[in-house]
């Protein structure tokens, strides 16, 4: 955990130094585009099955995501905590729906079938949050 905090602190320092030097994004949409291009590079790296290349590209995406938080003026830790709570709520709903339908787990189901449960849970959770 401490290594993660140090890595994020280093990113903040690098981001600040880049901003002070004038190496900045003109607008946040450029950073979103950059993050999407990192996803494309991950897909390319996955085809090579080169773990070092895959790790390098995923690291670039993680850095882009944290930078996006910074540029948007958002607290990275707060967003991660909120994202964890949101995932847990949705995952708990997936389990409840599956168990209601007679499944003890989703092992053996196709991706599409598992995704259906995720979408159902997302819809239910969205209704509960907006209610």
Q: Which domains does the chain have, with CATH numbers?
A: 2-74 (1.10.287), 81-130 (no CATH)
Rounded to 10 deg, the angle between the 51-71 and 76-100 helix axes is: 110
The model's pLDDT over 102-126, given as tens digits with 9 standing for 90+, comes to 999 999 999 999 999 999 999 999 8
The pTM score is 0.82
Residue 103 CB contacts under 8 Å (≥ 6 apart), including other chains: 109
Confidence of residue 5 (pLDDT cuts 50, 70, 90): confident
pLDDT at 130 over 60: no
Residue written as tokens 């004038």? 22
* Residue 49 DSSP code: T
Q: What is the mean pLDDT of residues 58-84?
A: 92
Residue 131 clears pLDDT 70, i.e. is over it: no
Higher pLDDT, 127 or 26: 26
């Amino acid at each position: 955990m401490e290594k993660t905090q140090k890595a994020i602190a280093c990113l903040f320092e690098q981001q600040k130094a880049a901003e002070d030097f004038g190496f900045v994004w003109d607008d946040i949409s450029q950073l979103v585009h950059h993050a999407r291009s990192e996803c494309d590079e991950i897909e390319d790296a996955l085809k090579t099955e080169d773990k070092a290349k895959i790790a390098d590209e995923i690291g670039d995406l993680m850095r882009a995501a944290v930078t996006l938080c910074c540029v948007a003026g958002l607290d990275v830790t707060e967003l991660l905590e909120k994202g964890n709570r949101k995932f847990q709520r949705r995952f708990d709903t997936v389990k409840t729906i599956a168990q209601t339908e007679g499944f003890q787990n989703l092992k053996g189901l196709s991706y599409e079938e598992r995704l259906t449960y995720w979408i159902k849970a997302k819809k239910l959770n969205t209704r509960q949050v907006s209610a």
